[in-house]
């Protein structure tokens, strides 16, 4: 059927139509569009000319309100999909383009405590009052207001999701002051044991330990949670959760090959009555079915088996399930470490950037409530494992050919976290207008912080750039130079010649206040 055209509805039945919301990735449509273009049946296009729909037909004398409840409970996820009942119109396709916007300054210097917290919550920065004061004092010291890009960068870098502020902060336990719980427990034990098989721990995308001394082959492990996104879109949240740890394995050292996945799910009782499911939460059975399918489908499409897993049921997980996803990879010992040098080209490879994934890092750092499903819809993405598989093959080929010096993945915070982390000890200049987009109309800050999936950032010596781009092109993967790493200690973002952010990297990475919490 053509876009918008649907099958006829039998007599005495009502049609329910489900489609992805404008701007939400549709991998099936994207793959079919690309295949039709390769067969020269349609013109080549950056934007999908195909849309997938689900059509359900229900008989019986049911009101429109009842049909809507059934549709949203069983067939559609309101976060990423639209539902139409009967003949009502349905929004689908690409989002309406918005005029391009350059630098936007945010009035911050004159705000009182209430104003600071309104800005933090309303702008989905989710920084606490002490952190907002720290940002305000910094900009008072340099004598100007922050830009939207700068605030967004600080918010994602300082988020609990990225900084682990609770574990790294100071804690007062029965009069004893504990500085950095992470370092004084897990990291301290690892350091004290100091086992020689530890190759790389606590500073890269994953941990690496020795595996085969004769082959000089090591093994990399990464497990992390993807709780909040999975609570509002179980399939998409778990899928992008496993996709993220696969990228972490690809991004550790100079790149490891993922070979196996694992998972663990903590959810509510599967027989929980509907009237006991909190408003704004999904039924536990729907969550479990969704997260199982999400991890399974993403791994299978990349050829990576899920070799182990576990499930725990408890009423405490009804409103906030825990979803753990993990990946194991193999890496030659000579590729266990990486670096970045001033003058290296910043090369982004993989999927394009869209509005999906905005505020993924900050959203994952706050408590869920009954409004989270709607207010944080953009924090959930739809994974595209086929693209990630092609990225993986191109990446490992480029690694073996020595075509890049360092890399990391675009996780929570997108380019902001990837380039910001890689440039921590150097500096960077980034041209945001060069970033490949899924559709026009994104603002500079949206381009910068979107967690759109399946992207990696590489530090490529200039004399290796053309060959590196060619390797990815052979795998049908876009590779785009965005700027270069510098030796200035500053992160400078430009958009069509205008500076939209200029941040001191020392403040960005080490300026977070460390409050004393009581345990």
Check residue 30 and give its pLDDT.
Answer: 79
Q: Which H/E stretch holds residue 393? A: helix 385-400
- Which alpha helices (DSSP H) does 71-163 contain, by range? 113-122, 129-142, 148-157, 160-163
Q: Give the number of other Cβ atoms within 10 Å of residue 203's Cβ.
A: 7
Which residues neighbour 105 within 8 Å (Cβ) at sequence distance 6 or greater?
144, 145, 146, 147, 148
Check residue 366 and give its pLDDT.
Answer: 45
Q: How many CA atoms lie within 13 A of 239 on its CB side?
A: 26
* Secondary-structure breakdown of the chain: helix, strand, coil percentages, each rounded to the nearest 5: 35, 25, 40
CA distance 185 to 202: 13
**Strands of 207-212's sheet, edge to edge?**
198-200, 207-212, 217-225, 322-332, 257-267, 306-313
Residues in the chain predicted with pLDDT less than 50, given as ranges, are: 360-379
Check residue 91 and give its pLDDT.
Answer: 58
Strand 306-313 relative to strand 345-350, pairing: unpaired
Q: pTM for the complete prediction? A: 0.85
Check residue 3 and give its pLDDT.
Answer: 57
Check residue 361 and give its pLDDT.
Answer: 45
**Encoding tokens for residue 10?**
């039998």
- Fold held by 196-337: 60s Ribosomal Protein L30; Chain: A; (3.30.1330)
Query: Which residues are catalytically annotated?
Result: 161, 226
Which residues neighbour 147 within 8 Å (Cβ) at sequence distance 6 or greater?
103, 104, 105, 106, 500, 501
Give residue limits of the domains in the chain. 13-85, 113-167, 196-337
Check residue 63 and give its pLDDT.
Answer: 87
**Residues 55, 6: contact at Cβ < 8 Å?**
yes
Helix (H, G, I), strand (E, B) or coil at 111: coil
CA distances, 173 to each of 130, 146, 163, 170 (Å): 21, 37, 22, 10
Check residue 353 and give its pLDDT.
Answer: 87
Check residue 369 and give its pLDDT.
Answer: 46
Query: Taking Cα atoms as reference points, which of 455, 403, 405, 411 lies closest to residue 426?
Result: 405
Domain 196-337 in the same topology as domain 13-85: no
Check residue 362 and give its pLDDT.
Answer: 44
DSSP 31: H
Exposed/middle/buried for residue 316 (C-beta within 10 Å: 0-12, 13-18, 19+): exposed
Q: What is the CATH number of domain 13-85?
A: 3.30.1280.10
């Amino acid at each position: 059927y053509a876009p918008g055209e649907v099958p006829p509805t039998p007599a005495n039945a009502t049609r329910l139509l489900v489609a992805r919301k404008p701007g939400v990735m549709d991998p099936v449509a994207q793959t079919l569009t690309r295949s039709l273009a390769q067969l020269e049946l349609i013109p080549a296009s950056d934007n999908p000319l195909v849309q997938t729909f689900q059509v359900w037909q229900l008989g019986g004398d049911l009101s429109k309100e009842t049909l809507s409840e059934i549709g949203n409970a069983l067939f559609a996820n309101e976060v990423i999909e639209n539902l139409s009942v009967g003949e009502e119109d349905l929004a689908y396709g690409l989002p309406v383009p918005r005029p391009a916007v350059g630098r936007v300054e945010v009035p911050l210097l004159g705000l009182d405590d209430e104003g600071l917290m309104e800005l933090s919550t309303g702008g989905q920065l989710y920084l606490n009052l002490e952190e907002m004061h720290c940002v305000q004092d910094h900009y008072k010291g340099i004598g100007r207001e922050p830009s939207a890009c700068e605030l967004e960068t600080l918010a994602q870098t300082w988020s609990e999701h990225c900084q682990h502020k609770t574990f790294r902060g100071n804690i007062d336990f029965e009069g004893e002051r504990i500085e950095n719980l992470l370092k004084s427990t897990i990291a301290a034990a690892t350091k004290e044991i100091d086992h020689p098989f530890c190759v790389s721990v606590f500073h890269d995308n994953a941990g690496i330990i020795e595996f085969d001394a004769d082959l000089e082959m090591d093994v990399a492990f990464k497990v992390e949670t993807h709780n909040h996104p999975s609570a509002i879109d179980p399939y998409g949240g778990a899928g992008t959760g496993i996709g993220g740890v696969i990228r972490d394995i690809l991004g550790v050292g100079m790149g490891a090959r993922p070979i196996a996945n694992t998972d663990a799910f903590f959810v509510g009782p599967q027989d929980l009555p509907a009237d006991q499911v909190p408003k704004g939460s999904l039924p536990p059975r729907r969550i479990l079915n969704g997260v199982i399918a999400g991890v399974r489908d993403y791994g299978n499409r990349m050829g990576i088996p899920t070799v182990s897993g576990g499930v725990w049921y408890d009423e405490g997980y009804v409103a906030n399930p825990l979803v753990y996803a993990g990946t194991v990879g193999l890496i030659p010992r000579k590729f266990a470490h990486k670096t970045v040098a001033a003058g290296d080209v910043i090369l982004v490879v993989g999927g394009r950037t869209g509005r999906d994934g905005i505020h993924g890092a900050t959203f994952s750092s706050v408590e869920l409530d009954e409004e989270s499903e709607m207010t944080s819809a953009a924090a959930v993405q739809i994974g595209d494992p086929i693209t990630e598989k092609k990225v993986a093959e191109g990446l490992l080929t480029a690694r073996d050919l020595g075509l890049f010096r360092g890399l990391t993945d675009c996780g929570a915070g997108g380019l902001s976290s990837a380039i910001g982390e890689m440039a921590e000890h150097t500096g960077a200049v980034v041209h945001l207008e060069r970033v490949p987009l899924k559709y026009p109309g994104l603002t500079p800050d949206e381009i910068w912080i979107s967690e759109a999936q399946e992207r990696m950032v590489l530090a490529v010596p200039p004399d290796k750039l053309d060959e590196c781009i060619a390797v990815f092109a052979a795998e049908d993967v876009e590779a785009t130079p965005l700027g270069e790493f510098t030796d200035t200690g500053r992160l400078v973002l430009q958009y069509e010649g205008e500076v939209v952010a200029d941040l001191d990297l020392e403040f960005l990475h080490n300026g977070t206040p460390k409050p004393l919490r009581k345990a």
